Chain A
Amino acid sequence: MSLSEIMFYILAAVIIVFSILTVTSRRVLRAAVYLLFVLVATAGMYFLLNYQFMAAVQLTLYAGGIVVLIIFSILLTSHISHRFEKPPLWKILAGGSTFVFGTGLTLWVLLSHVFTPSSQKAMEVNMTEIGNHLLSLNKEGFVLPFEVISILLLATMVAAIIIAKKEDNTKSDEI
């Protein structure tokens, strides 16, 4: 077994184990930390594929951004002694059967498909290429989704500011 295969199995094991722990943990911050492990291991997968840009995006956005925000909101709202209640039996059964069905379906699709490995040499992902494609109007350009996402983010930010803004009843008439 080559080194990259060993690394793949280690990362895959980390992802599977901590994904399960994330949904079964009864302490909310631990679940968030397990989720962090899953996301970091996914970034490791991208590194293994030599797709470093995606790995760094995964680390900044998910590990450094979203998980930090999740943990921050847990810090503000939850106490250390808090535990989730044990779910009732029917919920465990329903969740378990969905899990078995979903895994079975995915495995069946994956195993019945014949993957043909590409014989071409791995290409270096060029930063300039990514930048040009993101802002290009041509056939392989992504400028429309790029702009749509930026408008969506702007709308979200405006909404967040309006929600967070303190209402000032005394001066509302003057404005």
Chain B
Amino acid sequence: MNDHIYDFSQLTRHIDESLRAAMSPTWAVVVELVIIGLVFLTFYALLGLFLVYAERKVCALMQNRIGPNRVGKWGLLQTIADLLKLLTKELVYIERADKFLFNLAPFIVIIASFMAIAAIPFAKGLQAIDLNIGIFYIIAVTSVGVIGILIGGWASNSKYSLIGAMRSGAQVISYELSVGLSLLSVVIFSGSMQLSEIIRSQADGWWIFKGHIPAFIAFLIYLVAATAEINRGPFDLAEAESELTAGFHTEYSGIKFAFFFLAEYINMFIVASIATTMFLGGWLPLHIDHWAAFNRVMDYIPSIVWFFAKTFFIIYVIMWFKWTFPRLRIDQLLTLEWKYLLPLNLINTIVIAFIVMMGWHF
């Protein structure tokens, strides 16, 4: 069906073969690891710059402003200028802080997001590692990130940081359940946890369309819970600038602050790309039944464009949340999860299991 879509594994296989021809297999693997690392680091930096710019533009749009418009054309170089400023800032040393843990915290946060991004399929055949437990692996490694926030808040030896870290911990532990359960619904539908397999199961229709209303409910729950899990507004209680200065990263400055900041945006990208892969067909083009010509035209758009278009649409929705809704209180936040989302999610999962058992989905 999708045979004429360009397969990136041709390119990667070609690189692999030429490397193996030039050197011993051991060194070929090492060089490949270095190449993948560099590609992801570059991608990280560019994505971070772009998402910060996008956030400011979307924020300006919601608030009827123009947004950054002085540095470069349409303010495109604004975030680069910000980055240079951040890099030259002094790294403030905190008295009586636990220095080792204080310095370690940003790395835990950023490594967790870095490990998650390795399993995401960006286009047909373009995936660093296709584990047979794909989605479970992503849930597992992202759950480690909160440890960085917790120890960063504690090691700062500041009340604002500590309160921010506690709130963040309670929030992430609670909402992880909803994220996991709503993703489980797609695992039940597709019968696999491997991401490439999940995408293949959507070749004749995305799960959000094929899975009736329960899949749509799972998608909505995922969006809400994932927004909460990455500590973004309206669930940004961990930072809550009007009451906690900056929450868990109050005491951080310069490049260490930049790490937290970058990880937050990359996590938003990861969350959006998981939503894309699980519910919106990943890199698959939009197909409508019996519209052969339309489907054919859609196939000519490269798969990587489809992936990023869908992901950035989800990111736009998440930003839209942030600039539209007021921040919740901590008790409202926990009530929402434990009294509404979680029971709804459990019932929804049972309904989906029943649908799959009866074979009612398309």
Which B residues have a C-beta under 8 Å from some C-beta of A?
26, 29-30, 96-98, 100-101, 104, 131-133, 136-137, 139-141, 143-144, 146-147, 150-151, 153-155, 157, 162, 165-166, 169-170, 173, 176, 191-193
Contact = CB atoms under 8 A, between A and B. Distances in A.
A81 to B, nearest CB: 7
A127 B132 contact: yes
A73 to B, nearest CB: 10
Contact of A53 (B136, B166, B176): B136
A30 interface: yes
B98 A80 contact: yes
A96 B170 CA distance: 39
B133 A3 contact: no
A38 interface: no
A55 B137 CA distance: 8
B155 A63 contact: no
B162 A75 contact: yes
A36 B96 contact: no
Q: DSSP majority for the A interface?
A: helix
Contact of A52 (B132, B151, B191): B132
A125 B194 CA distance: 12
Contact of A56 (B97, B98, B136): B136
Contact of B143 (A30, A52, A64, A124): A64
B146 A127 contact: no
Contacts of A64: 140, 143-144, 146-147, 176
Interface of A: 2-3, 27, 29-30, 33, 36, 40, 52-53, 55-57, 59-60, 63-65, 67-69, 71-72, 74-76, 80-81, 124-128
Given A52-B132, A64-B144, A80 B96 contact: yes
B29 A3 contact: yes
A125 B143 CA distance: 23
B143 A65 contact: yes
28 contacts: A27-B98, A29-B98, A29-B155, A30-B98, A30-B100, A33-B101, A33-B147, A36-B147, A40-B144, A56-B137, A56-B139, A56-B140, A59-B141, A60-B139, A60-B143, A63-B143, A63-B144, A64-B140, A65-B143, A68-B169, A71-B154, A72-B150, A72-B173, A75-B150, A80-B97, A80-B155, A80-B157, A125-B132
Contact of A3 (B26, B97, B143, B162): B26
Nearest to A57: B140
Nearest to A63: B144
Nearest to B111: A40
